[in-house]
């Protein structure tokens, strides 16, 4: 075990950080509304109930084991010595937050932020597995994500782990950089969503016998679009608090973070709206909303360092990326993802991570905040970012798939076919979200 020196933080930073962290629940609310609006009416209440369960289970699991294993720079961790280099691979804290003084210290603020952001990560699979994921399985799967997968990877990035120290140990730029969680929150959640979509299979009636997908539109576009606005506020808090706590940004830098977050989302939604207008004749509200969130996701990694013009460019690419990949995954890979969570969070997160390495000024600012234009890159930052992406694909994806596969062996995660036809609301909760309305017609009769 090797403790490292804790980062210093002024009282102004602490106060600002607390305020910013208190905005993060709005990101959860936004994502919950988006997931809910994109699912069908027959599962609307189930979707919101599952949201509460996921956020609750994630917070408890993170409280029990998560923070102990994630750790924070300055707290103890397990390390391996490989050819004389220290590889910190797991936090060595105590369970149940023991030993973490909840007094406004950087570690305690990180713990508070993580209690919320781990819930955000848990909501991502919920959108992808909507309408066919049992409530019990969804709670158990979230416990595995929040208690094991998330803290393990977050330690490597935010807890002073080996990815964060790639620069120090191997001269790869400044080590893996991710201020707001494009990798730790978004990509980890997105890859878990991919695992679950593989394991659960598509919704009944989504594909016909020839394998062609049918459109199963969500039940409330207004929820989806309003959710996007809520998510923006939450993301500003998340990115800003992450920048202060994990990237050592001074309080004044939160202005840059907020500008970058907004510009990235703006670029993404405009790109998505323009592309869908060009492809389909009219802008597609659902894909534009996906573009907006993808812009937010992609902004997170580099928000503390990149110039605003780069953030706008990152958003434009994210918006274009999501419009094409959502349809491509649905048609060519037979991935039934009602909320587009895999494209938005996994691919958007990976794009955000790589973008940090594509803008050399990002790393330069990290070295010398006031002399960004004159700072010289020590070695390719992109290489450190690529190693992070390789870790996500080569470790996190097989790991989270295996955990969920094991869970599925003991507790089948999918709702039975007949009950799925009735809707998850009736099967799991015994009542629909809107009992006074006809909730659905039977579109399964032809298949």
Partner 1 sequence: MKITGLLMMPAGWFIVLAALVLLRSVRAQILFIAAGIGVEILGLVLFTRAHGLAKRGNE
Q: Is 156 left (phi over 0), alpha (psi -120 to 50) or beta?
A: alpha
DSSP code per residue over 106-173: HHHHHHHHHHHHHHHHHHHHHHHTTTSB-HHHHHHHHHHIIIIIHHHHHHHHHSS-TTTTHHHHH--B
Q: Which of 380, 412, 421, 434 binds partner 1 (CB under 8 A)?
A: 380
Segment lying near partner 1 (by CB under 8 A), choices 6-14, 256-264, 306-314, 380-388: 380-388
Applying CB under 8 A, among 252, 308, 398, 416 the residue interacting with partner 1 is: 398
Residue 196's Cβ-count burial label (10 Å; 0-12, 13-18, 19+) is buried
The residue within the footprint of partner 1, chosen from 209, 215, 376, 431 (CB under 8 A), is: 209
Quick check: 394 binds partner 1 (CB under 8 A)?
yes
> At closest approach, how far in Å is the CB of 309 from partner 1?
28
Give the nearest distance from C-beta 170 to partner 1 in angstroms. Answer: 5
**CB of 209: closest distance to partner 1 in angstroms?**
6
**Minimum gap (Å) between residue 398 Cβ and partner 1:** 5
Beta-bridged to residue 207, according to DSSP, are 213
CB of 244 to partner 1, least distance (A): 29
**In the complex, minimum distance from the CB of residue 393 to partner 1, in angstroms, rounded to a whole number:** 5
Q: Distance (Å, rounded) from C-alpha 166 to C-alpha 180?
A: 19
Whether residue 225 contacts residue 285, with contact meaning beta carbons closer than 8 Å, is answered with yes
Q: Which is nearer to partner 1, 115 or 157 (CB)?
A: 157
Does position 386 interact with partner 1 (CB under 8 A)? The reply is yes
Do the beta carbons of residue 96 and residue 63 sit within 8 Å?
yes
Q: Does 333 bind partner 1 (CB under 8 A)?
A: yes
Measure Cα distances from 141 to 126, 132, 134, 362 in Å. Answer: 10, 14, 10, 36
Write down the least CB distance from residue 339 to partner 1, Å: 20
Would you say 2 or 402 has its CB closer to partner 1? 402
Task: Say which residues have a Cβ less than 8 Å from residue 167's Cβ, sequence separation at least 6.
Answer: 173, 174, 175, 378, 384
The DSSP call for residue 324 is H
The 8-class DSSP code of residue 338 comes to T
User: Based on CB atoms, which residue is closest to partner 1, 150 or 176?
Assistant: 176
**Which CB atom, from 31 or from 326, has the smaller least distance to partner 1?**
326
- CA gap 46, 424 in Å, rounded: 6
How far apart (Å, rounded) are the C-alpha atoms in residues 179 and 193? 22
User: Of residues 201, 213, 250, 283, which one binds partner 1 by CB under 8 A?
Assistant: 201
Which residue, 85 or 94, has its beta carbon nearer to partner 1?
A: 85
Please, what is the minimum distance in Å from the beta carbon of residue 402 to partner 1?
8
Site string for partner 1, 284-323 (x = CB under 8 A): ----------------------------------------
Regarding 82 and contact with partner 1 (CB under 8 A), the answer is yes
| 10 interacts with partner 1 by CB under 8 A | no
Candidates 5, 8, 81, 83; binder of partner 1 (CB under 8 A) is 83
Structure letter (DSSP) for residue 77: E
What is the total residue count of the chain? 447
When binding is defined by CB under 8 A, the residue of 5, 103, 211, 409 that contacts partner 1 is: 211
Minimum CB distance to partner 1, residue 61 (Å): 24
Binding segment for partner 1 among 1-9, 164-172, 311-319, 341-349 (CB under 8 A)?
164-172
Nearest in space to 323 (alpha carbons), one of 271, 369, 364: 271
402 interacts with partner 1 by CB under 8 A: yes
Among 27, 28, 138, 166, binds partner 1 (CB under 8 A): 166
Contacts of 355 (CB under 8 A, 6+ apart): 298, 301, 302, 306, 310, 314, 317
Is 129 among the residues that bind partner 1 (CB under 8 A)? no
CA distance to 164, 192, 222, 223, 296, per residue, from 230 (Å): 31, 24, 12, 10, 12
Q: What distance in Å separates the CA atoms of residue 391 and residue 388, rounded to the nearest whole number?
A: 5
Using the rule CB under 8 A, is 9 a contact of partner 1? Answer: no
List residues near partner 1 by CB under 8 A.
Answer: 82-83, 85, 166, 170, 172, 198, 201-202, 209, 211, 333-334, 379-380, 383, 386-387, 389-391, 393-395, 397-398, 401-402
């Amino acid at each position: 075990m090797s403790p490292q020196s804790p980062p210093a933080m002024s009282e102004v930073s602490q106060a600002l950080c607390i305020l910013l962290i208190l905005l993060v629940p709005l990101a959860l609310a936004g994502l919950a509304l988006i997931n809910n609006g994109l699912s069908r009416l027959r599962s609307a209440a189930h979707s919101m109930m599952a949201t509460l369960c996921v956020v609750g289970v994630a917070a408890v699991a993170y409280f029990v084991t998560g923070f102990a294993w994630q750790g924070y720079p300055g707290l103890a961790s397990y390390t391996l010595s490989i050819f004389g280099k220290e590889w910190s691979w797991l936090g060595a804290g105590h369970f149940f937050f023991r030993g973490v003084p909840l007094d406004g210290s950087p570690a305690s603020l990180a713990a508070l932020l993580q209690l919320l952001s781990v819930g955000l990560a848990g909501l991502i699979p919920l959108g992808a597995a909507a309408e066919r994921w049992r409530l019990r399985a969804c709670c158990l799967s979230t416990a595995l994500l929040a208690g094991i997968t998330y803290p393990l990877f977050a330690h490597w990035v935010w807890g002073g782990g080996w990815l964060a120290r790639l620069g120090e140990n191997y001269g790869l730029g400044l080590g893996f950089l991710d201020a707001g969680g494009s990798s730790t929150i978004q990509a980890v959640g997105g890859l878990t969503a991919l695992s679950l979509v593989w394991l659960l299979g598509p919704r009944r009636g989504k594909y016909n016998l020839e394998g062609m997908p049918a459109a199963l539109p969500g039940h409330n576009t207004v929820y989806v679009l309003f959710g996007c606005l809520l998510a923006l506020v939450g993301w500003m808090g998340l990115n800003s608090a992450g920048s202060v706590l994990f990237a050592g940004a001074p309080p004044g830098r939160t202005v840059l973070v907020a500008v970058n977050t907004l510009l990235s989302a703006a670029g993404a939604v405009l790109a998505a709206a323009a592309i869908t207008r060009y492809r389909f004749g009219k802008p597609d509200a659902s894909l534009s909303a996906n573009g907006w969130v993808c812009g937010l996701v992609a902004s997170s990694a580099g928000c503390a360092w990149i110039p605003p013009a780069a953030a706008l460019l990152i958003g434009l690419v994210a918006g274009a990326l999501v419009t094409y990949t959502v349809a491509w995954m649905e048609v060519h890979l037979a991935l039934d993802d009602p909320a587009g969570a895999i494209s938005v969070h996994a691919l958007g997160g990976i794009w955000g991570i790589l973008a940090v390495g594509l803008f050399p000024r990002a790393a330069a600012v990290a070295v010398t905040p006031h002399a960004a234009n004159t700072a010289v890159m020590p070695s390719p930052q992109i290489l450190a970012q690529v190693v992070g992406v390789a870790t996500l694909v080569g470790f996190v994806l097989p790991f989270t798939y295996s955990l969920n596969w094991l869970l599925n062996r003991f507790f089948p995660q999918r709702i039975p076919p007949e009950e799925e036809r009735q809707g998850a609301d009736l099967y799991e909760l015994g009542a629909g979200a809107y009992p006074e309305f006809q909730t659905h017609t039977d579109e399964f009769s032809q298949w």
